[in-house]
Copies of this chain bind each other. A is one copy, B any other.
Amino acid sequence: MSYAALIIHIKKTTALDQVSGLLGWDQETQMPVKGGVQRAEHMGAMESVLHARRTDKRIPDWISAIDQSSLNAVEKRNVAEAQKSYDNATKIPADLAEALARLSAQSQDIWANARKAGNFKDFAPTLTKMIDLKRQEASARQTSNASLYDALMDDYEPGMASGEMTDLLAKLRPGLTDLRARIADSGCAEVKLSGDFNEAAQMEFARTLPEMFNYDWDAGRMDLAVHPFCSGSGGDSRITTRVSEQNPFDNIYSVIHEVGHAVYEQNILHADTMAPAHKYASMGVHESQSRMFENQIGRSREFCEFLFPKMQAAFGDIGVESGKDFYKAVNNVQSGYIRTEADEVHYNLHIMMRFDLERALISGDLSVIDLESAWNDRFKADFGVEVDSPANGVLQDVHWSVGLFGYFPTYSLGNIYAAELFAKMQDTIPDLNGKIAAGTLDEPINWLHENIHQYGRVLPPAELIENATGHATSEMALLKYLNKKFGDLYGV
Contact surface of A with B, Cβ cutoff 8 Å? 11-12, 15-16, 18-19, 22-23, 26, 30-39, 41-42, 44-46, 48-49, 216-221, 232, 234-236, 238, 272, 274
Contacts and interface: CB of A to CB of B under 8 A. Distances in A.
Contact of A32 (B30, B46, B49, B219): B219
A219 B12 CA distance: 32
| Contact residues of A: prevailing secondary structure | helix
B41 A274 contact: yes
A32 B274 contact: no
24 contacts: A11-B41, A12-B41, A12-B45, A16-B42, A16-B46, A19-B19, A19-B23, A19-B42, A19-B45, A19-B46, A22-B22, A22-B23, A26-B26, A32-B236, A33-B218, A34-B216, A34-B218, A34-B236, A35-B235, A37-B235, A38-B235, A38-B236, A38-B274, A41-B274
A22 B45 CA distance: 14
Given A19-B46, A45-B19, A31 B274 contact: no
Contact of A38 (B18, B31, B39, B218): B18
Given A33-B218, A37-B234, A38-B235, 12 more contacts: A12-B45, A15-B41, A15-B42, A16-B49, A18-B38, A19-B23, A19-B46, A32-B217, A32-B220, A34-B218, A34-B235, A34-B236
Closest 4 CB pairs of A and B: A35-B236, A34-B235, A15-B45, A34-B219
A51 to B, nearest CB: 13
Nearest to A41: B15
B26 A22 contact: yes
A18 B218 CA distance: 26
Nearest to A29: B30
Nearest to A30: B221
Nearest to A45: B15
